[in-house]
Structure 1
């Protein structure tokens, strides 16, 4: 059955949910394996969204799949136009000269059987396999077991995703589901590239939005499952060693279990923020970011509560937080949720890169018919040659992460898009030993202003 891209995206959404069983706290090894597979799917989705080059994404995908399942060989085979043979597009474990040149005959082969059945094909032991012939390609590499599944296309199958093990193993249902889900992610990435090559900009944007909608829940699903597993783990730890009391202390938790739990929580929050940033950035670029209701706020009353959440972090990092708000600030018509996110992104960036003993300053004053809001930090400055690229997506200043904070370079790109959405501007003022981001907000409504309804 041939599927259009929107139908394929919908199937991708419907079937993917079956991959995530509810973690069972009594089966620690199984839970850790499930979380490992979920994390790999999340990474594949992120790379599918972020990597514009399909060949590069395929290489990254087979490497990640091979590493996750601990198998020596993983391959993406593309069905050629004659529909009688396939070419090795990407592979792990195969010689470089085989990539792009190795063809596999369809008849009586693992790939041919997979394409005809349109179902995952599992071979536990090639020596006992009676349905298929083991190709010389597989015999040469001493493969024992294999899993193969179709990578669907818009009008015809694109090809086959396969893994091959060189040691005896019994493939679990979760591993089979993982291979199917990986193939659907590859199919969505392939469909997106084909659409980009064929469709005009307006239609292309609609397909990109369909793709974004299809993967948004799948990107968040593993994180929600990890959070659920962490909640179950917290209950178990509370019964054994009163974890809540240890976290309520002013100092950092001291026990090994509490420290590990804190790391898991922080990493879960960090990955969820990364996913939300990436998805929101794609919506902003595509012009599909939702319109919010604007309202009139007083920055004198609105900013201080936002800063309350930073006091503990600033104190722990031995930084100084200053607030300088003009008493003459007029009411501002804006979208508070969007503006809050902008401010928190800028403050998070400042906290990351401000050395101990230095100052972070939040200021707001009136300049003509605009309100100028700035976030500055002392003790660090951005090299002049990097200033033009500071708002670029995925750009991070080389060798400037002295605090080892990590990240993918999405924060400031998202800030710029959100600021423009508010009908405002943002710029970098880079001084000696100081970095300042300045927003100029119109006192009136932005072009996206929408009147609240009763």
Structure 2
């Protein structure tokens, strides 16, 4: 380095500090200024944005309030609350609204008839009322108080047409075309022609309660009020805010400037066109407003990011634009501006102070740097000498002078400690090497033991040398000794079972090529021929160049796991086999149960033994699937004949339908040959295997089958027949087959027994029907035979009564002769009634007699006629009699004489047995497709055992005194037969001291084929 130019320590030490102080002070000052400037600009934008948003929110609330008032007026008119045709009422309503809502400037209504009324505010207690005179067409303006009291006529505007104001762009048709209403600036003469003002008005059309368009309503606000609001904002001494539209027209400003022209041309004023009065913001009286307008318009067309400041009169101003929309018609911009000088004055003063302090720091840094560099130079020279002495003879005699700098003194002390610690470190290094070697040996032994316990070996293969390193456990797993030579790479695969070599070799080669880790299960041959299962894992070691340089991995002996898996697989297969067997058995059992249910259902649903037996044999054939199934019946001589069969193929040429007479002996003497019996079944698995000395071998060999089952059918402990199953092949009968055949045999016996009982019952029924027919014929014959003499007696009694009356012998009713004649008439009449009842009952029960003609019957008209005598009878017997007939009872088609007889018999029966003071109630109602007639009497109850026979002929309730009530016992029997004859049903309910007879009559459609139906009123 002697050839290079050397720099003095004082300059080298001082110059960097000087550069740092100058650079840092300059950068800090610059960044502080820029940061402050940006912070001020951001703060200004936030303040202006806050002001702009506040203005926008107030404008939205202000104008939305006006819009809501207009919509409320519209709803009041449409609902009929406000009479739009009553101008005085509307005027008073407008005045009240201006009192209630101080923010409203005016309200207006104009109708389809060009009527016009507007009420405006020009002061706290001063109003202007403007009306259009319908005769002259003039707009008259009146000065009025807040209560609407007119003071004077201010002025008149001639030829005012509200439908064409302003001319060329009238608001009335535009409002009619808008259902929801719209906003528009308009000219207001509320302060007079000399002081026109601009208003922002909301127009909305209205209809009457019938929905007919009637006119337009409007609410408005003076735009100069917006200027007063902006003027009241806190914008600092030199800040301002103004509002302009998208075309740059000034709407309002905080400077106090009016946004419209004063004292315009009268011709312009007559047009009432707001465009003629508005002032462009670029023509504002305020220079800052004009500059801000130009900046605002420039932002709208700026392609790059917009500027946030502009200059005017050598001064920078911050500006912020807030858009404001009012419907689709009003699009304004709220502009807030603030002079930059109000924010940056303190920043400039701070910059000047920063420069002065930086100069003082620079001078101080140079002086201190020179002093420190001299002190360090002295100390470095002394340390250099001491270091040379230590390197030469390890001397620690440091003659370094004291330094005022604490770090230099600390450095000297640290240097001495360093030398001492270096010596100690050399000693510790030697000791650590010995301890490390012992620890490595200990860990190696632990790893070797862990591999032995886990039966896992490790290996390492170096690709550059082609050599491998194997752990001791890996050698043991491969059947080698620790002293064995490790095979080379190509020879390693030779110990792998041939079928697995391709898999393990492909995995290792792939790992060498692209470094892919692998995990492979394979088998190896140990030297003694034993085959072991290994799980080999390996991964590549890649150098910095991305090349595979080494493979490392492990091998785990999984022979026990594989053997366990094989055993588990064998157990799973065996389990699946058993499950399939069990499933098949369950399905077969289900089929057998289904067949049994089918057989039982057939037995329950049919009493035909042949039909039931066919079903039984077919279902048995489906389950057993044998050659032939037959049912034999034993004859009295012990022989058997087939009565039904079910076959699956052609039967042998030997006839199986008849068995010799000794077959019954086989089942009688079954105890002699227990070898071929299962309970009551004769079981032959293979006829060729039967002992030739068997007692009945000659009979069994005649059956053209190899195997068969015989099950005896027992009826009342007597062997009635056999159920036989044949098969042409030898078959070992299973227990379930024999049990199933026994169940079928039991069901066959049940079906047979049921058929026998049915046949017996049928014979008994036929005999009973024959006897009943004889009885009915006898009753009919007797009735006819009795009717002739009774008629003769009745005729003779009548002739005798006539003759006696002619002779005057019956003039007194108290004579015995009169009583005898009366008894004779009554008893003969009763006997005729009894005979008529018997004949009628016989006719009803005869199926050969023709029924009575059908009639269209109205129960609502029939019943009142039938009950007339019973009403009188109820009064006589002190019985409370009520009748209820629903109104919806339709007419029915029935046999009128039967229906009358039914009702009369039931009412007579009720009045006969009802005690004095009790109640009889008759009701008729419709339920679904039938009519229900109920006759209920209280005070009497029919015993339960008598209720079952109450409709039998000649039956009398045992508890009723026959001498007191009389009767033949035929009335209810006749009623029942007549009810059935007209297609109805009768029921009896008797409990809780009440007895009710219910007659159910079907409702049938009227027969259109009978042009002259018989009606009971035409009798």
More strand by share: 2
Structure number, greater radius of gyration = 2
- Specify which structure has the bigger relative contact order, considering alpha-carbon pairs within 8 angstroms and separated by 6 or more residues: 1
TM-score by length of 2: 0.23
TM-score by length of 1: 0.48
